[in-house]
A = this chain, B = another copy of it.
Amino acid sequence: MSNPHEHVLTGLRVLDLTRALAGPTCTRMLAEMGAEVIKVESAPGGDLVRNISKMRNERSLYYIQQNLGKKSVCINLRDPRGMALVASLVAQVDVVVENFKPGTLDEMGLSYERLKEIKPDIILCSISALGQSGPLSHLPGYDFIAQAYAGVTSMIGENNGQPYIPLVALGDVSTGVHGALAILAALRYRDRTGQGQHIDAALLDAYYHCNEVSVHQYSGSNGAFKPTRAGAHLSYICPPGKGNGGWIVVMAFAPLEGSIATMGRPELANDERLGTDAGRLANRAEVVKMIEDWLATFPDRDSAVAHMQKHRVPCAPVLSIEETVNHPHHRARGTVRTVDDRIAGKFDIPGFPLKFSAFPKDLPLEAATLGQHNDEVLRQVLGRDANEIAELRAAGVLVEGKY
């Protein structure tokens, strides 16, 4: 019954009440490390992402990517018998994870206090955009909302132009990882003391501590320094530059001598304006143009990158998604991996990001169809018999889907 794959978290059982992205990332991390994750999906349709990125045979590739290795139980949560099943499951797990809008779990009758009555040492992890507390906690939350409130969006784009949003779910995914970390820390505490607890993991907080210098530089200068976006180039170095055929990130803080040798321009060492850090900062546009003109002398982007890397100038091609999927490094490391879904077939998704020497291969996990494990979980975890399961199914309390 438990996750059949031995891994670092084998033996851990998690009740997963999450949907969409941040919550499912948290439980996916746990499942990929061997935990048994029982995902309760709300009948009739289940996780809303079952309806997006449906690119192959009515199967959502989004769902597959975010829910590998989880068992699916699809329950009508508006039926008291359905909620009773959920409460029964709480008694059988170590951890509950949810990412409803703050307050919703309480309204469903599953407050942390209630969960503790059912299982005194339960660990509840609540994931949200702006947190379980504070004056904004009631707002509807999405990645970009939290990103804007965290000051992160304000740091992307031209100084006096519009801010840009990365089309990558940096906050949702990172917050899922934050939540998983808090859960394992709380489990260590539970194992030591017998006490569970309620964890509050928010995108706002996960984004905010990524401000590695801005907050203390604003505060530490007593407000004299006001951090803001600065275009495509850092205030102290100059990525990215455009070579022939594509963009390149160049960390041009390699020693001046090295950069000059790399560019074959020894006369710059004596240039009054460009020979010093201060001078280059004051003439940034000219420095950028000089570097980009030089990059344009290469036949293509990758030959420019190879030349600079040979001279140990930190740089990288700005790879497109397409290029990442087929990159030999990404393939060698398992940064990208191919899954072979029994319905959708083979396709690529990002690899599991944590590499354990004792488990060098990703577990061969599958994503469940809707309610695929209704029967298994009710029998083996809750000890229900075939008659009761059939009744619950007939009453629409348990639902199964083809995909």
Contacts and interface: CB of A to CB of B under 8 A. Distances in A.
A141 B125 CA distance: 34
B314 A9 contact: no
A240 B148 contact: yes
Contact of A332 (B133, B202, B324): B133
B148 A317 contact: yes
B350 A188 contact: no
Copies in the complex: 2
Given A184-B181, A335-B204, A217 B55 contact: yes
Given A165-B239, A232-B162, A356-B186, A251 B144 contact: yes
A333 B138 CA distance: 13
Contacts of A177: 174, 177-178, 181, 206
Nearest to A236: B52
Contacts of A216: 53, 55, 61-62, 64-65, 347-349
A181 to B, nearest CB: 4
A333 B135 CA distance: 9
A168 B148 CA distance: 13
A154 B201 contact: no
A40 interface: no
A67 interface: no
Interface string A105-139: 00000001000000000000000001111111101
A365 to B, nearest CB: 14
A320 interface: yes
A56 interface: yes
A226 interface: yes
B325 A218 contact: yes
Interface string A149-162: 11111111100001
B314 A140 contact: yes
A381 to B, nearest CB: 21
Contacts of A182: 354, 356
Interface in A161-220: 162-170, 172-174, 177-178, 180-182, 184-189, 191-192, 195, 197-202, 204-220
Contact of A314 (B135, B141, B219): B141
Interface of A: 7-12, 21, 29, 33, 53, 55-56, 61-62, 64-66, 112, 130-137, 139-142, 144-157, 162-170, 172-174, 177-178, 180-182, 184-189, 191-192, 195, 197-202, 204-221, 223, 226-232, 234, 239-240, 242, 247-249, 251, 309, 312, 314-325, 327-330, 332-333, 335-336, 344, 347-358
9 contacts: A134-B332, A137-B329, A151-B319, A153-B247, A197-B358, A204-B333, A205-B353, A211-B321, A218-B325
Given A144-B251, A201-B353, A208-B330, 14 more contacts: A9-B185, A134-B332, A142-B251, A148-B319, A149-B327, A150-B335, A156-B168, A168-B211, A198-B357, A204-B335, A208-B324, A208-B336, A215-B336, A218-B348
Q: Top 5 A-B pairs ranked by shortest CB distance? A: A219-B348, A184-B184, A205-B353, A148-B316, A209-B350
